[in-house]
Amino acid sequence: MPITPVDKIWMDGELVDWADARVHVLSHGVHYGSGVFEGIRCYETRSGPAVWHLEEHLKRLFRSAKLYHMEIPFSQEALADAVRETIRANGLTSCYIRPLVFRGYGEMGVNPLNAPVNVTIAVWPWGAYLGEQAIEHGVRVKVSSWKRNDQNSLPSAAKATGQYINGVLAKVESLKAGYDEAILLNQAGYITDGSGENVFAVRGGVLCTPPISAGCLDGITRATVMEMAAELGYQVREQNLTRTDLYNADEAFFTGTAAEITPIRELDDRVIGEGTRGPTTKELQGLFFSAVKGEVERYAAFLTPVA
Ligand code: PPE
């Protein structure tokens, strides 16, 4: 998806012009994928722009950094302020937010420990991740021939830049075969997640999603949707899912910050349910999109005002 440039990007404590937000080609992270990042969304609410689950996302950023022995030279509070400052500086009412912590310039070789840790925050307007049509009509998905990187090779608990090269293989395979997105299996053959989304199946009014131990990202939207579904009276289970469980589901959908809640209408050329957005998916979308816009009182605490 092409990026829509805005005015300013936050780099190591200051706002710089969009065009000047550059790194050296010999930066460690460019060569070895030694970085961690987040994807967050800011939504327009009646009381102004607000960031959805800012604290949870920043906590995960710090957990990811810890896993790779990266000391972030800012506190979580300072980064929360920087996110809000960056949105204000660009005058955006809703946007995607991309904090990035990476090993910078100064050292070559796999050992990252002596390379500096740089921190950037970029924001830009980002519409529906899998296309405007996808939210209503769903996407066509392919189970990838590429397996999700094993937990003991690259821990999925960390949202590290380098591990996304696994998703890149899967995503490109699915696009070249004419699908919209890929789902990756783990080494045991169970569903993990999409290239950038968690996966849910609905069958007989029960929502199922793979456990984190399957090797999926500990998605923040996943947790929100599980909470919302329980509140709406659905049974929610974390259990291993096979591809057949998805073929035979009444409904299936993706969750993610970028993808929000996107129905899956076909998997490997099998139509799922009615082949369009199902009633449970629609109900969850309804609550989710109201909550992120500040229209549901009990979820208002998850919104941090930008002003
Ligand atoms: N699994 C993967 C592999 C993943 O990258 C994401 C987020 C999720 C699940 C959902 O997690 P959460 O956002 O906390 O609900 N993917 C981010 C990056 C997408 C991209 O293309 O870049 C995102 O949605 O921001």
**Quick one: average pLDDT of 181-205?**
98
- The alpha carbon of 84 and the centre of ligand 1 are apart by a number of angstroms equal to 21
Judge whether 282 and 228 are in contact, CB under 8 Å. no
Q: How far apart, in Å, are the Cα atoms of 264 and each of 92, 182, 202?
A: 30, 11, 11
Judge whether 304 and 54 are in contact, CB under 8 Å. yes
Q: Is the pLDDT of residue 306 over 90?
A: yes
- 147 counts as catalytic: no
Helix, strand and coil content of the chain, in percent to the nearest 5, comes to 30, 30, 40
Q: What tens digit of pLDDT does each residue of 33-67 get?
A: 999 999 999 999 999 999 999 999 999 999 999 99
Q: For the chain, what percent of residues have pLDDT higher than 90?
A: 98
Q: What pLDDT does 203 receive? A: 97
- The alpha carbon of 196 and the centre of ligand 1 are apart by a number of angstroms equal to 4
Per DSSP, which regions of the chain are E strands?
8-11, 14-17, 35-37, 40-45, 48-52, 95-103, 117-124, 139-143, 181-185, 191-194, 198-203, 206-209, 235-238, 251-256, 260-267, 270-271, 303-305
Q: 263: pLDDT confidence band, cut at 50, 70 and 90? A: very high
Which CATH code is given to the segment(s) 8-124?
A: 3.30.470.10
Q: 239: pLDDT confidence band, cut at 50, 70 and 90? A: very high
Question: DSSP letters along 170-201, please?
Answer: HHHHHHHTT-SEEEEE-TTS-EEEESS-EEEE
Rounded to 5°, the CA angle 171-176-177 comes to 100
Residue holding tokens 């793979």?
210
Q: What pLDDT does 1 receive? A: 86
**Quick one: average pLDDT of 220-243?**
98
Q: Sketch the domain layout of the chain as residue ranges.
A: 8-124, 134-292
Q: What is the pTM of this model?
A: 0.98
Q: How far apart are CA 243 and CA 190, in angstroms?
A: 7
Mean pLDDT of the chain: 97
Closest residue (by CA) to atom 9 of ligand 1?
Answer: 197
Closest CA to 204 of 245, 255, 256, 263: 245
Q: For the chain, what percent of residues have pLDDT higher than 70?
A: 100
- The alpha carbon of 198 and the centre of ligand 1 are apart by a number of angstroms equal to 8
Residue holding tokens 């993808």?
259
Contacts of 231 (CB under 8 A, 6+ apart): none
The superfamily CATH assigns to domain 134-292 is: D-amino Acid Aminotransferase, subunit A, domain 2 (3.20.10.10)
Residues with CB under 6 A from ligand 1: 39, 167, 193, 196-198, 216-217, 219-222, 255-259
Q: What tens digit of pLDDT does each residue of 68-102 get?
A: 999 999 999 999 999 999 999 999 999 999 999 99
Catalytic-labelled residue, pool 8, 142, 159, 171: 159
